[in-house]
Each structure stands twice: as structure tokens, then as C-alpha cells.
Copies of this chain bind each other. A is one copy, B any other.
Amino acid sequence: MKRYRNGEIWDFEQEMPVRIGSKNVILGLDGGTTTTVCICIPFSSDHQNTTLPADDRPPVLARAVAGCSNHNSVGETAARETLERVMADALFKSGSTRSSVRAVCLAVSGVDHPNDQQRLFNWLRDIFPHYVRLFVQNDAVAALASGTMGKLHGCVLIAGTGTIAYGFTEDGREARAAGAGPVLGDWGSGYGIAARALTAIVKAHDGRGSLTMLTSSILGLLDLSSPDELIGWTYADPSWARIAALVPVVVSCAEAGDLVANQILVDSVQELASSVKAVVQRLSLCGEDGKGCFPLVMVGGVLETNRDWDIGEEVMKCISKDYPGVRSIRPKVEPAVGAALLAWNFLTKDSYAEGYRN
């Protein structure tokens, strides 16, 4: 087992009393660009070869929270240190050590390529005992599992600061769409919606676009006196989440009848629906006749507004037209629990799902 360079991350294990017959546990980790959550659930060998029923919420022994673990945002060294610390923290809080761990599922944003998976897998391999089963996925997979209670089937649409659609078939094929960040066209995301609203203000100001209520609403919120000052505000801090936080203002303006804001939301709905449709089509999730049922797990702030202008509902309407068998699911547990349930399912049955595992 790996000893951390500075020795301190796993030091707690040496202070831990040795308990005979101590519980086996599973770690589920959801690593995002804003927050990383690790949860620890018990795993009893009595459950082997069974799966949790779909309405069962597993007991959570411990929950630990940390910051960004996307290597594209903070670099590989910082991302790994965050991941390692949050796993150690969850184990410490649950009164366990690495020798009690049966499986770890790491679902991290920025895992976009088999190379990313392989690198994280090799790194995890050095941290845990050889008998621990390890799984590395994109964080969208944990979000899907949080809606399907660990079953890898159907599609998930995440629309928060960023957006991605990810799908799995029952026979283990997978596909994704979007999730490439704002430079690479994630225009349906919270960042995309807000950036288009800021652009609309600039265009109204310089004569390229129609006047819009967004100008007074957003400048007022940001305490700026002129659209020219938006440039300084925008580039003073490159954080995508800071821009995405303006989405509720865009929704309010659209609800108040502003045509520019309304068009931005309509376009965002089209973009989000197009990501889901691309995944459904590539995987034939709706069967040969196009009418088969499949779950669509909807996650993220943009889809959870529950306002008059409900982006999530409009996305569902748009998808239902082409695929009437779509069934929307709003998860009852958080994605880190989804990651733990995935690991549970990988452990207890001969799983077909993709992912690096030993």
C-alpha cells in the first residue's frame, strides 16, 4: 500500500484500534469541477449475488466533501491530492481503514478518454490493497446510477455549470454527447446560457442586437453601471461557475416576457435535447420501433429550476416527440451514492458495464 509522500493522509490508520470482524465497506466518489463528495457504505457478504432493490437507499456510514478534482481545471497533482484526501477522510469518519475496503468507484469529471481512466486506475492501484476492486468512470456515470440505483441502463442528462449526456445499453455499450466544455460547444449548459445572456447585453449596447431586459437585470445584480464594464467583470475571473450563476436571472427575464432571454432558453433546450437524442440514437435505446422505454435521469441546476419557465420539462417534451418511450427520473440519492451502488453491482454480479476494473 502506498505511503503518502508527506505521510500524513493515511496516518490515522495507525491510530485506529484493530477491530476483529470489522465491517467491509465500499467507497463511492463523485468528483466534479466545483465539489468532490466521497461516501462510505457498508458491504456485507450476505448480500453477495443480490442487488439492492430500486427503492432502497443504502445506509451511509460517512460522507466527506472537498473541492475540484477535475484534472483539466486544477492539474493532475492537485486533482489526485483532493481525491486521496477525501477518500481518507470518508474512511476515517466511518471508523474504517483501507483494509476494510472491498471496492472503490471513482466517478470524476474530466475522465474523457481511456487514457484518463487508465492513469487514474494505476494510481488507485498503488493506494489500496491488491484485493480491492477498483472502478474509474466519468462523473456522468455516477449521476446515471444515482437515478437507476446502480443499474447501468438508459441515459443521463446533466446540465449544471457544464453539460453532458451519457448512455448505456443493457448489453454494455455506451455513448456520450457534449461534455466538452464551453470552448467546444456546450451551449446548453448553465455557462452557455449565461454567456449568451452577457453577449446579448453587449450586442444590444453596440447596436448588433435587440434591446433586452437582461441589461438592467444583470448589470443591477453585478452592480455595474454600463455594459462596457461587463468586459472587465467577465475576464477578471475565468471561473465558469461564476458566469453560470447568472442563469436564474435569464429565466426570470424570460418569464417576464423578454424575447431575447426567451430565445436563449429555447436554444438551450434544443441543444440539451440534441445531446440526449444523439446518445439515444447511437445506442438504439428506444428499440427498433423507436417506441421502447428507457430511463432518462435528469440532473443539475439548469434542469431543476421548477419555475414557470421549466427548462427540464421543455427538454423532456422535445425528446418525447421523437422518443415517446422516454421516462424521466429525478434521482433521490446523490451521485456519490450512485457511484457506490455501481461498485456494489460490479461486485455482486458479473457486470457487463464498461470501465477499468481489476
Residues on A lying within 8 angstroms of B by beta carbon are: 72-73, 112-113, 116, 175-178, 180-185, 195-196, 198-199, 202-203, 206-208, 226, 228-232, 234-236, 238, 243, 274-275, 278-279, 281-282
Contacts and interface: CB of A to CB of B under 8 A. Distances in A.
A73 B238 CA distance: 11
Given A113-B228, A206-B278, A228-B113, A234 B199 contact: no
Contacts of A235: 72-73, 181, 183
A184 B199 contact: yes
A319 B313 CA distance: 42
A166 to B, nearest CB: 10
A198 to B, nearest CB: 6
A264 to B, nearest CB: 12
Copies in the complex: 2
B231 A72 contact: yes
A109 to B, nearest CB: 11
A269 to B, nearest CB: 14
B231 A184 contact: yes
A206 B231 contact: no
Contacts of A243: 183
Nearest to A271: B208
